[in-house]
A = this chain, B = another copy of it.
Amino acid sequence: MTEPQKTLAFVVYPGLTSLDLVGPLQVLSALDAAGPEFRTVVVGETLEPVTTDSPLRIAPSHTFDAVTDPYAIIVPGGGVPTLQALADRTLIGYLARAAETAELAASVCTGSLLLGQAGLLNGREATTHWLFRDLLPAFGATPVAKRWVEDGPVITAAGVSAGIDLALHLVERFAGTEAARRVQFGIEYDPEPPLGPLDWSDVPEDLGSLRELVLREGLAGRPELRAKLLARA
């Protein structure tokens, strides 16, 4: 008897932040090459390429309907389009249904807000992009300022690049420390940010207005959603 293959489903929607998706996809797709136990897929409502926040357009490998029983779902975040996607019933419905039987629901950046909208963060600790962390209580979650937060079957990462760290952690969890080490050497992940680590005591001032812009545009025409999100922020 062979074990059924475990499907890691990356969930895409128009306007997502491309690195939120591709960082962890690069890392976790290394499990495909290691043997038949895992396969990674990119699922969307249709197979049509979706736009992202960069000039990249991404073609899903499968539709939501074709991947109904994934082992894990991983959902990327973004700016305005991700807030708009909170009202996308097809997307949120897919996340909620897939999570019922999945072993793991994961998010990168503001993807955690989508998990929250699907009802998956209630009573859990979670994180998201630092600019939007205070929105998490709207979904019954307790915000935590960590690179990633694991709470039972739900694991959420901080902003954008944190998806790489989360994915290496998942490789270790799924396939062991040696496998994670091999992947880390494979992607030569030995970061040297040219300006050093982030200095949280000196956050660029104009990012606050970026936050306001994203909230205003992303929630335009959705006063109930806006009230829900900002009630406790």
Contact = CB atoms under 8 A, between A and B. Distances in A.
Given A23-B19, A169-B194, A194-B172, A160 B185 contact: no
A147 B23 CA distance: 18
Contacts of A107: none
Contacts of A41: 55
A207 B182 contact: yes
Contacts of A206: 182
Contacts of A161: 164, 187-191
A204 interface: yes
Interface string A69-112: 00000000000000000000000000000000000000001000
A135 to B, nearest CB: 15
Nearest to A58: B56
A25 interface: yes
A9 to B, nearest CB: 10
A193 B188 contact: no
Contact of A160 (B10, B55, B187): B187
A204 B169 CA distance: 18
Nearest to A61: B55
Contacts of A45: none
A5 interface: no
A58 B55 contact: no
Nearest to A40: B55
B185 A198 contact: yes
14 contacts: A18-B26, A19-B22, A22-B22, A29-B53, A42-B55, A42-B56, A158-B190, A161-B190, A165-B193, A165-B194, A168-B194, A182-B206, A184-B193, A185-B204
